[in-house]
Amino acid sequence: MQVIHYPSQAEWAALQQRPAAGEARQVEERVRQIFDDVRQRGDEALRHYAQELDGAALTDLRVTAEEVTAAVAQVPAALQTAIRQAHANLWKFHLTQREEITRVETMPGVTCWRKSVPVQRVGLYIPGGTAPLFSTLLMLGVPARLAGCPEIVLCTPPQKDGSVNPVILFTAQLLGISTIIKAGGAQGVAALAGGTGSVPAVDKIFGPGNRYVTAAKQLAAQRGVAIDLPAGPSEVLVIADKTASPAFVAADLLSQAEHGPDSQVMLLTDSVELLPQVTAEIERQLAQLPRREVAALALGESRAVLLRTPEEMLFFSNQYAPEHLILAVRNAEELAEGVTSAGSVFLGHLTPEAAGDYASGTNHTLPTGGYARNYSGVSLDSFVKKITFQRITAEGLLHVGPVVETMAEAEGLRAHARAVTLRLESLLGDNA
């Protein structure tokens, strides 16, 4: 990690830069080609990319019930138990996000209300390569189920033998998802966006992925299919004071660095003594990681910054707007009151970010790249549309009608005013 001591605020912007994506134009052009190919050749194109990119020779793109049953038997009992507990925790937390319908009488006889209606067809994209993210399937599948989405389509890459990772299939069965497509990468997103013979087109696409998947989701959004949120490489920012454990802090930083070479981790501290202790712990723990080469690449783009006060660290963090924010400080709850931009916040020395990644109950699908300044993470709200309703009685029209007439005339919209005037005249005529 790069270590910076007491930078001036003029230097902060440079320190807050994320790693450059690189070759963005080439990625976008390749994704456009894949979209066009999937639109023209449908399932044939998906089978072609499965062979070319995943090394899998497929006949059927859909996972069968028999494949699911066989896969579930391969998942160790301890892992099944852990996934079921995580599912229960997520369900319990997301259930509280349901909103009751509240009818409001804004004037006598004028009643307005709002109703949550599920998105009818949602597509969940789950990576299945070096780190098959069955945990993300839980994070997306639980709120989709709670929202009542009638159709849920899961796309995930096949393994070389044409199968799908057994843990992903176990999790899908637990969630009651039966439409499972063997399609990864940009081609999977393209299939969800436009549909093919085997893949139903959806209204909204969720899920993480590499830069090709991210570009594919952005292209799908341009073509009229909603997406969950702008998401790129994973990131964490840790604010630590002298009470923090160097081993805990190092482990938290490495837990994000191992996601991928373009992940970024950031440490802010006001303790001169803590900095060398954390960097030494990082070196020690890094050597023990199976994905140490990946984590080492990410650390090369990461920074440890020494600042003067907790307030200064919080100001820096709010500007950076991290996906994950860990407050490894004595007064975590108090400091957390000042957080204005973060995807998810983890308070105190015993709250690792990894808990939120898997099983505490909050959602781990979060905005990255500074988008936490203006986006929320995935929640039940992501899977519903909020539709407003209103009903006006005769009494209500007598109250609100003149207000509408006056405002419409002031804007020069005579037809708007007439739509009210005709009704008022009808009511007054009936009462004459």
Of the candidates 87, 101, 146, 91, the one whose C-alpha atom is nearest the C-alpha of residue 122 is 146
Q: CB within 8 A of 193, min separation 6: which ones? A: 35, 123, 201, 202, 205, 216, 219, 220, 223, 225
Inter-residue contact 171 to 82 (CB < 8 Å): no
Q: How far apart are CA 95 and CA 380, in angstroms?
A: 8
> Is position 210 annotated in a ligand binding site?
yes
> Is position 125 annotated in a ligand binding site?
yes
Question: What tokens does 241 get?
Answer: 């004071």
> Is position 187 annotated in a ligand binding site?
yes
Q: How far apart are CA 67 and CA 403, in angstroms?
A: 63
Inter-residue contact 170 to 161 (CB < 8 Å): no
DSSP string over 81-124: HHHHHHHHHHHHHHHTT------EEEETTEEEEEEEEE-SEEEE
Question: Which is catalytic among the residues 324, 337, 405, 425?
Answer: 324
Of the candidates 138, 175, 148, 161, the one whose C-alpha atom is nearest the C-alpha of residue 358 is 138
> Is position 48 annotated in a ligand binding site?
no
> Is position 259 annotated in a ligand binding site?
yes
The CA-atom distances, in angstroms, between 292 and each of 234, 236, 248, 287 are: 16, 17, 17, 6
Question: Which is catalytic among the residues 67, 323, 353, 364?
Answer: 323
Q: Is 273 a catalytic residue?
A: no
Q: Residue 334: how many CB atoms within 10 A of its CB?
A: 12
> Is position 252 annotated in a ligand binding site?
no
> Is position 256 annotated in a ligand binding site?
yes
Q: Is 324 a catalytic residue?
A: yes
Inter-residue contact 187 to 49 (CB < 8 Å): yes
Q: Residue 219: how many CB atoms within 10 A of its CB?
A: 20
Q: How far apart are the first and last CA of the chain?
A: 83
Q: CB within 8 A of 84, min separation 6: which ones? A: 174
DSSP string over 141-168: HHHHHHHT-SEEEEEEPPPTTS---HHH
The two beta strands, 324-328 and 235-240, are parallel
> Is position 411 annotated in a ligand binding site?
yes
Question: Which residues are annotated as part of the binding site for Zn(2+)?
Answer: 256, 259, 357, 416
In the annotated binding site for NAD(+), the residues are 125, 187, 210
Binding annotation: 125, 187, 210, 234, 256, 259, 324, 357, 411, 416
Residues within the annotated binding site for substrate?
A: 234, 256, 259, 324, 357, 411, 416
Give catalytic residues, as residue numbers. 323-324
